[in-house]
Structure 1
Amino acid sequence: MTTDLRRTLLAATAVLAIGFVPAVTVAGSATAAPHPTPAPGKTPVPADYDARHDPATAGLLDATATLLAAKPPAAVSSMRAALGLQGIVDMDALTGTPRQVAKLDGFLTGPSRKPAVRIARDYLTAHADLFGVDPATLKLGRDYVDIEGTHHLSFRQQVGDVPVFGNGIRADVARNGALIQVTGSPVRQVPAGLAGAKLTGSQALDTARRDARETRSTPSDTAHLVAFPTSGGLRLGYQTLTMQSGYLHVVDAASGRILYRQSLTDHDTGPDALVWDNYPGAPAGGKQRRVSLGSWISPSATTLTGNSSHVFSDVNDNDVADAGEEVGPSSPGHFTYPFKEFTGPLCSAQFRCTWDPAVAYSWQANRAMDGAQLLYFTSVFHDHLLAAPIGFTRAAGNFETRDGDQVEVNDLDGADTDNGFPDGAHVDNANMATPPDGTPPTMQMYLQPAANTTPDEDPYVPSDTGNEASSVYHEYTHGLSNRLVVDAAGVSTLNGPQSGAMGEAWSDWYAYDYLQKEGLEKDTAKPGELVVFEYTTAGANTIRTEPLDCTVGAPATVCPGTATAGTGGYTYGDFGKISRRGAEVHADGEIWAQTLWDLRTALGYRLSESLVTRAMELSPADPSYLDMRNAILIADRVVAGGKHQGSIWKVFAKRGMGFFAATVDGSDTEPIEDFALPPAAGSPKSSIAGVVTDRDTGLPAAGVAVTFGGHSSGFAGSYAAVTDAAGNYQIKNVFLGTYPKVAASGNGYERQVRTVTVTKQPGTVDWAVRRDWAASQGGAQLVDFSGDDYTAYGCGPGQAIDMSPGSGWSTDAVLTEGTAIEPRFITVQLPAAIDLTSVEINPTGNCGDDASASTGDYRVETSPDGTAWTVAASGHFGPADRDRATAVPLSAGTTGVRLVRYTMLGTQVADEGGSCPSDLSGCSYVDTVEVGVYGAGG
């Protein structure tokens, strides 16, 4: 569960342009950019951010990736040929080294009696040209052996004594000594040294705290030097951990710039004790019963400190147990606190209430009971995840008090932040912040609903989220996934829209897998029975859009879906369509959760628990859905000798993740679904070729990528080519069939998609594509802008020229009169002087703002040299111009144009029938999605 934050993560375009990211003021560094001022009642939270995926270099990386696919180095071609049809050689465009080398129909090497480390190093030595590293220079950071006997080796690269951040090599070796796969994207040719640091570790921590909006330090805060890979090479930085709100940063040690930001928090939602096993009033497990806590807590315990979690009531939300916040025994050796029931509109025999949102401090009546219940839930689930076949052990990074790594459970978090009530930031939610192994995670459980609200305003059963087993197990599973899907340094890589969605999906799946297995939740062959968080919503299916067990084609009466995604169970093509806001991790996670429930139905819970967990351990960094599909197939070969490959493929193919399904990477919010099983060996192949030309000039378009969207998931032989100087391309060895999404795009040319049928006779497919001269990926540069810079939220000025309708530019709107505002502009330098034929603008509100923030009055100016400027167009955008590119009428300044300046002069508040001041977004912000410039080179 998660709060509705203004600045949601636009992960497909999470940006870092070195010149735009806020920095603390230190000697030799730039002045800090101001933090964005939230609209009334809204608190912005910095989005996750990684300089390695900066849109400023996206065009270069896209071109490099396509070139690697179309014209791979000899070492890559050789490896792909050796691995065969189901081999994977997935290259990282930033490093030019493999992100993953594996094969789904076998292992990389045969059985061996050599030590696992030796097996891995020998393989790297044999393929040094491919991996680009000297195995002798790699430092073994971890050799974790899972419960199936698989060695998970992590090798770290170093520059002297400074470890390389994120990149490195992970190798997985089966019990019999066979090398399963190699992942990691190592840095090729690590230098002997780096420039010295200008900041201290303390200054880096201050920078990180300021960037994360944190106001104080905690005992767990740390800083150490790392070498951070960028498109310009390795940079010395400080990796910091700040745990007031849970962030991991990398701060440039010379400039103080933020190179990396990752929230560690996933929002959501002896002695004896009286507990329930599900939620108060549930048909199964809904009555208090007496249990012994002796397996988890000392007989003489005076607080709820168990062997894997510490529970206290953090009613003032300062993350420490102050006087009166620990939960002590009801009497020596007993934590038996009977449930005290409340009444209200949503309270019933099945959904019993634990507090009264209209009465201050009423939550105190069940405070101690809530704490004992949470100690029970977290301890039970710890033991469940520890046991086979899941095997989340100490070696795997689980949570143990003896390791100083227990879950710090903050119950009733913020319950007394508003005179006996929780404030608006401490209701209707739950979260789990999971730092790397060795630092205790924090689980926070809030009250619901908000004080003095009606069910129509806040339709949640009055309770503590810690009273519901599924909510607690969901949050706890975030700890499992964030400790298993990691880079070579053990840092979670669930950062992208697809990996983040899987994080939410795993949390739902593991929770209900356990509850159904224990007979606490009903699941028959009938779809639509498993309503996620049913206690929270009094049985209404409102936190998720569909029940967990919705199958493809299930009736709308029980699996209603959404207007944008349709009814029945979801498929891969629904990604980004389930929520009206576009890609959203909880909504899109339903696709993965339902798919895994299908897998559980097909294979049984025990084997599924094993395969899904092993796949996390085998996953490459920041996985896509297809990466995890592949990891599950590999896990089946590890666990069961590949006996279930056919069944697994059928499950994923039915959900649109078949052999030809496609995604660029884990940040792709528009993946292509496919329902095909792997083609049989020896199936016929053919080829296509053609010419790509510029639509405006008729001249050849060089550097344009032609790709088969249905066959680019990382398998050997992905179908792609890049046009040469004459615009020619050719793609060979294509399986016969009809491909619905073959595309030509790149180098500043807009994507054109068509259906192509490949027959035995080689085919000709020509393209005429249109160039957007203002596109950053085509060489245009943002040289100036005004207004607040929200790059850290994925909606900075650079988003106006990134050719992505899924992101846009948002900045502050300072009102001058009516809905007129102080001018907010961007200046774009085109890669060449052109004669304009069209300027097209999508003025729509974005970055979480409502439609009133769409640009109203506007001005477009052009210049040949940056000195003389001509007004080329001006006017007003209205509601009819939203959600599309609108061509503006050009009246002058259309020849020899080298720079274009676009200025937002007003919002659409008046068009919405509103005025300022008010809660309309347009009273605080003004937005534009995209600016496109078209014409012919002058």
Structure 2
Amino acid sequence: MRTILTLLFVAVLRPKTVTAVPFPATSKYATHHTHEIRRGVEIKSYHPPSVYETYDGGIDHPLSKRAEASVEDSAVAFIQLRHGIVVSDLQLVSSFYSDTASHVYFRQKANRIPFANAVANVAFNKGRIVVVFGSSFVNVSRVASPTPPLPVEDAIAIAEKQLDGTDKIYNPDHFPVPQLEYLMQDDGFVALTHSFQVRNAAAGTWFQAFVDAASGELVSIIDYVAHASYLALPVWKETLSEGLEMLVDPQDHALSYKGDTTSVTTASSSEFVFDYPLDLDEDPTTQANVDAARVNTFYLVNTVHDIMYKYGFTETAFNFQWSNFGKGGKGGDRVQISVQSNLGIDNAAAFTTLPEGMPGFMTMMLWDYTNPERDGALENDIVTHENMHGLTNRMTGGGTASCLRTTESRGMGEGWSDAFTDAFVPDFIMGQYVTNATAGSRTYPYSTSATTNPFRYSSIQTLNEVHGIGEVWANMLPRRPRHGQRLIQHWPHRSQRRLPPPLHRRPSSPTMTFVNARDAWVQADVNRYGGANKCTLWKAFANRGLGVNAANYVDDDGVPDDC
């Protein structure tokens, strides 16, 4: 049966004073992304350039003196002051509260219709003053009529044909009907679009489609699937050579299966024992090895869930969890893990991140570099990399899973996923087990040494693929021994030695850049630690070319004067 899955995005706002103009060559990765649907079929997506500002100790807003004012009302007042936008042209997406800050996400409206790619976010510190503001709100002087000439049924048929949409996989009651959304184009015209989801489970695809409601052209898509190029192994180990261990009590935040969700592993002896030894001389598809893969991915994804929970990826922060135990947010969206998927072989794993309330789908595959083949589900860095896509796509943009969509921001998503897997060692190699190669699956080992890994901010000039850009970002993140030691030495267990990225403080716009994210990281340190790590952070970034004056992929090694 051919059908289209639909979903109403939880909205995000945008103001009127930022005008979209044809993009300069220097920002090609920050505003555009080309999706190759299949050979010869490409769709180019555009996201308006964003304004991103951090305010160190914070600045007042119009409701600062009103103790009873909510953060939502305060955010609206600040955006009105900043952009002169009227309340009716703002749509609240979501709010999030942590122990150090509050975050509010909006999107812009025109003619009572929300924009798909004009968003804003405001963050407040504990004193309820503004510390971060990001916006890709646009000028609406050239906007399409709010009345769609093209029926939505025709738009669905057009998108289904181009995207090979085939599947009805959920109860339709779970999804709102297709909706109208405005979409800013890179020539400054605001098109009216029909917006809805399209999935093909057999092909492993899942898109949000935007069809021009006048011309019938498929003008943009959001690809919810993050592809990567690269158990029970303890979470602090990377490869099987380090040895399996019997581990206990992972929580029930994931479902691991082969083929379909009913094909799971049951206890091997008593009710709570899942003891399936691997036989690496046998094919990975033998029953014992399938059981081992399912058990290990179940353990690892649940354990990573609990680590991320400690650092703020909680129910109200849009996490993946079957039951939210009355703590807020939407439940019913645990991660579903498909092991030994037939969707591909080699260099293939994926995580499909959908908006909060819808499950995350992890797809693990086999590698045939060796005989017998090797299972990607048995290499911790691959599984963890995929899991991190869920965190970064959910936490950026208030649970919508619609940010990190340009080439540069998607590359940063790949980099964060690699960085989370990085053990606390000077040189770290991804994908050694599945490739059966000491060099692994990345261009260079991740390293503090510029000789071992020469990537710098300026390296992006010669890169045009998200994983390559991600390697640059992952290698400069300030959690390595040279500049990150002081930040992590108080965490006793190696699996906890992570400097959690300030995801909520990043701009919710898809046009986030390395520079924006660097500033968000520094601002997060101000909010949580009073700026105690400011110079450590700046030196780490500047060491790889992302100093205070870095811009347009040109290096700078400068740090603030007081560093």
More strand by share: 1
Q: Which amino acid aligns with 1:327?
A: T
Q: Which of residues 89, 108, 111 is equivalent to 1:157?
A: 108
Equivalent residue pairs, number: 506
Q: Which of residues 447, 460, 472 is equivalent to 1:575?
A: 460
CA contact (8 A) 1:461 1:535 kept: no
> Any residues of structure 2 matched to 1:666-815 within 5 Å, and which?
671-678=553-560
Residue of structure 2 in register with 1:511 after alignment = 421
Counterpart CA distance in 2 for 1:430 and 1:642 is 38
Q: Any idea what the Cα deviations from partners look like across 1:851-900, whole Å, max 9, x if unmatched?
A: xxxxxxxxxxxxxxxxxxxxxxxxxxxxxxxxxxxxxxxxxxxxxxxxxx
Q: Which of residues 456, 465, 484 is equivalent to 1:600?
A: 484
Q: Give the deviation of 1:370 after TM superposition.
A: 1.3
Matching of residue 400 in structure 1 with residue 298 in structure 2: no
Q: Which of residues 292, 315, 325 is equivalent to 2:248?
A: 292
Q: Give the deviation of 1:166 after TM superposition.
A: 2.4
CA contact (8 A) 1:618 1:635 kept: no
Distance 1:605 1:47, change over 3 A: farther
Q: Give the deviation of 1:123 after TM superposition.
A: 2.5
Q: Give the deviation of 1:145 after TM superposition.
A: 0.9
Matching of residue 101 in structure 1 with residue 53 in structure 2: yes
CA contact (8 A) 2:113 2:146 kept: no
Q: Any idea what the Cα deviations from partners look like across 1:428-484, whole Å, max 9, x if unmatched?
A: 4211011222221210000111xxxxxxxx369832111122111110000011112
CA contact (8 A) 2:52 2:516 kept: no
Residue of structure 1 in register with 2:199 after alignment = 243
Matching of residue 537 in structure 1 with residue 425 in structure 2: no
Counterpart CA distance in 1 for 2:43 and 2:234 is 37
Q: Which of residues 364, 379, 385 is equivalent to 1:468?
A: 379
Q: Which of residues 411, 423, 438 is equivalent to 2:339?
A: 411
Q: Which of residues 217, 223, 237 is equivalent to 1:257?
A: 217
CA contact (8 A) 2:120 2:508 kept: no
Q: Which amino acid aligns with 1:167?
A: A
Q: Which of residues 608, 617, 629 is equivalent to 2:518?
A: 629
Q: Which of residues 261, 275, 290 is equivalent to 1:321?
A: 261
Counterpart CA distance in 1 for 2:30 and 2:95 is 33
Residue of structure 1 in register with 2:345 after alignment = 426
Name the larger-Rg structure. Answer: 1
Residue of structure 2 in register with 1:355 after alignment = 283
CA contact (8 A) 2:240 2:379 kept: no
Matching of residue 379 in structure 1 with residue 302 in structure 2: yes
CA contact (8 A) 1:460 1:536 kept: no
CA contact (8 A) 1:531 1:539 kept: no
Distance 1:546 1:430, change over 3 A: same
CA contact (8 A) 2:212 2:218 kept: yes
Residue of structure 1 in register with 2:327 after alignment = none
Q: Which amino acid aligns with 1:102?
A: T
Q: Scaled by the length of structure 2, what TM-score is found?
A: 0.80
Q: Any idea what the Cα deviations from partners look like across 1:203-243, whole Å, max 9, x if unmatched?
A: 33333332223343432776222122234543321222223
Residue of structure 1 in register with 2:70 after alignment = 115
Residue of structure 1 in register with 2:6 after alignment = none
Q: Any idea what the Cα deviations from partners look like across 1:367-420, whole Å, max 9, x if unmatched?
A: 122111111111111011001xx2111111110112121111111111xxxxxx
CA contact (8 A) 1:48 1:263 kept: no
CA contact (8 A) 1:51 1:259 kept: no
Residue of structure 2 in register with 1:590 after alignment = 471
Counterpart CA distance in 1 for 2:512 and 2:244 is 41
Residue of structure 2 in register with 1:448 after alignment = 367
Counterpart CA distance in 2 for 1:13 and 1:124 is 22
- The alignment partner of 2:58 has SS state of coil
Q: Which of residues 120, 140, 152 is equivalent to 1:169?
A: 120
Counterpart CA distance in 2 for 1:258 and 1:532 is 37
- The alignment partner of 1:395 has SS state of helix
Q: Scaled by the length of structure 1, what TM-score is found?
A: 0.50
Q: Which amino acid aligns with 1:256?
A: G
> Any residues of structure 2 matched to 1:626-665 within 5 Å, and which?
626-663=515-552
CA contact (8 A) 2:233 2:240 kept: no
Please, what is the CA RMSD of the aligned residues? 3.3
More helix by share: 2
Q: Give the deviation of 1:51 after TM superposition.
A: 4.4
Distance 1:606 1:400, change over 3 A: farther
Matching of residue 139 in structure 1 with residue 21 in structure 2: no
Q: Any idea what the Cα deviations from partners look like across 1:64-110, whole Å, max 9, x if unmatched?
A: xxxxxxxxxxxxxxxxxxxxxxxxxxxx4xxxxx622334x442338
- The alignment partner of 1:292 has SS state of coil
Q: Which amino acid aligns with 2:470?
A: G
Q: Give the deviation of 1:180 after TM superposition.
A: 0.9
CA contact (8 A) 1:227 1:235 kept: yes
Q: Give the deviation of 1:489 after TM superposition.
A: 7.9
Counterpart CA distance in 2 for 1:198 and 1:469 is 51
Q: Which amino acid aligns with 1:287?
A: L
Q: Which amino acid aligns with 2:411?
A: A
- Which stretch of structure 1 is more off in the superposition, 462-471 or 671-680? 671-680
Q: Give the deviation of 1:338 after TM superposition.
A: 2.5
Residue of structure 2 in register with 1:789 after alignment = none
Q: Give the deviation of 1:124 after TM superposition.
A: 3.0
CA contact (8 A) 2:375 2:434 kept: no
